[in-house]
């Protein structure tokens, strides 16, 4: 083991923890399993980080910092109408889940664990705020690219969109039914397209 500054070790441990949690579950992400994944001796753990829970906080931050909206936004550009754009974006997200189910499941486990752990509660709030921020970006980017407006506040719509993706993920993790998931995506796209309104200069009025 070469000499590595503590902050760098800390980041490596967070990545290793995410890898273990994705592959074997958060419960299996023990300090020993994490350092084994990172190829470090056990004692390096508490030299780089005060406690396991503190590292899990880093993991949440690590995930939240990632930018995963780019691929989805790109998909939107291939669509002709808003409904198809939403459908493609949701299918793209579904593909991400299917490509690495453990990863998405680890996210849920991480959220649940944080909610139950003193000092880590409060993290899910930021985590989901970031999710919605990402969703909002996709929503406004899609509207701009295809030239329409949302007839409700996009921020509220972002929350609904994250709800749908979370629900989509949980349902697919539970039964791995691809066909049913895609039907659900169709319906969700149908439903969300109902909030689309043709762009019209300064006509759009959105009162409560």
Partner DNA sequence: ATCTGTCTGGGACGATCGTCCAACCTCACG
Partner DNA sequence: CGTGAGGTTGGACGATCGTCCCAGACAGAT
What's the closest the beta carbon of residue 170 comes to its own copies, in angstroms?
A: 5
Question: In sequence order, what are the beta bridge partners of 149?
Answer: 197
Q: Which burial class, exposed, middle or buried, applies to 205 when counting CB atoms under 10 A from its CB (0-12, 13-18, 19+)?
A: exposed
**Please, which residues have CB within 8 angstroms of residue 55's CB and are 6 or more apart in sequence?**
10, 13, 14, 17, 34, 45, 49
Distance (Å, whole) CA 99 – CA 111: 21
SS3 99: helix
Which x/- pattern over 16-55 shows residues binding DNA (rule: CB under 7 A)?
A: ------------xxxxxx------xxxxxxxx--xxxx--
What does the buried/exposed string (b/e) look like for 87-114 if buried means 16 or more CB atoms within 10 Å of the residue's CB?
A: bbbbbbbbebbeeeebbbbbbebbbebb
Token look-up 């490596």 returns 12
Residue 44 binds: one of its own copies, DNA, none (C-beta under 5 to 8 A by kind) = DNA
Closest separation in Å from C-beta 29 to DNA: 7
In whole angstroms, the minimum distance from the beta carbon of 27 to DNA comes to 8
CA distance 154 to 137: 9
Answer with the entry of its own copies, DNA, none that 162 interacts with (C-beta below 5 to 8 A by kind). its own copies
> Residue 2 interacts with DNA (CB under 7 A)?
yes
Shortest Cβ 80–its own copies spacing (Å): 20
5 binds DNA (CB under 7 A): yes
167 binds, among its own copies, DNA, none (CB under 5 to 8 A by kind): its own copies
Q: Please, which residue, 106 or 162, has the CB nearer to DNA?
A: 106
User: Shortest Cβ distance from residue 88 to DNA (Å)?
Assistant: 41
Query: What residue ranges bind its own copies (CB under 8 A)?
Result: 24-25, 27-28, 105, 108-109, 111-113, 115-116, 124-125, 127-129, 152, 156-157, 159-160, 162-168, 170-171, 173-175, 180, 183-184, 187-188, 190-192, 194-195
Q: Report residue 148: phi and psi, to 5°.
A: -135, 175
**Footprint of DNA on 52-81 (CB under 7 A):** 52-53
Burial class (CB in 10 A: 0-12, 13-18, 19+), 64: middle
Q: Which residues bind DNA (CB under 7 A)?
A: 1-6, 9, 28-33, 40-47, 50-53
């Amino acid at each position: 083991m070469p000499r590595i500054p503590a902050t760098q070790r800390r980041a490596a441990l967070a990545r290793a923890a995410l890898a273990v949690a994705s592959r074997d579950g958060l419960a299996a992400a023990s300090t020993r399993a994490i350092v084994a994944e990172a190829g470090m001796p056990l004692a390096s753990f508490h030299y780089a980080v005060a406690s396991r829970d503190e590292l899990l906080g880093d993991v949440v931050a690590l995930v939240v910092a990632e930018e995963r909206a780019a691929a989805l936004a790109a998909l939107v550009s291939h669509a002709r109408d808003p409904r198809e754009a939403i459908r493609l974006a949701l299918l793209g997200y579904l593909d991400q889940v299917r490509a690495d189910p453990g990863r998405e499941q680890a996210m849920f486990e991480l959220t649940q664990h944080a909610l139950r752990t003193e000092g880590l509660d409060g993290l899910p709030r930021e985590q989901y705020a970031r999710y919605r921020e990402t969703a909002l970006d996709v929503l406004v980017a899609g509207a701009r690219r295809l030239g329409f407006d949302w007839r409700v506040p996009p921020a509220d719509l972002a929350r609904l969109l994250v709800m749908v993706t979370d629900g989509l993920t949980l349902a697919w993790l539970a039964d791995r039914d691809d066909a049913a998931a895609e039907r659900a995506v169709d319906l969700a796209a149908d439903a969300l397209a109902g909030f689309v309104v043709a762009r019209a200069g300064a006509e759009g009025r959105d009162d409560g």
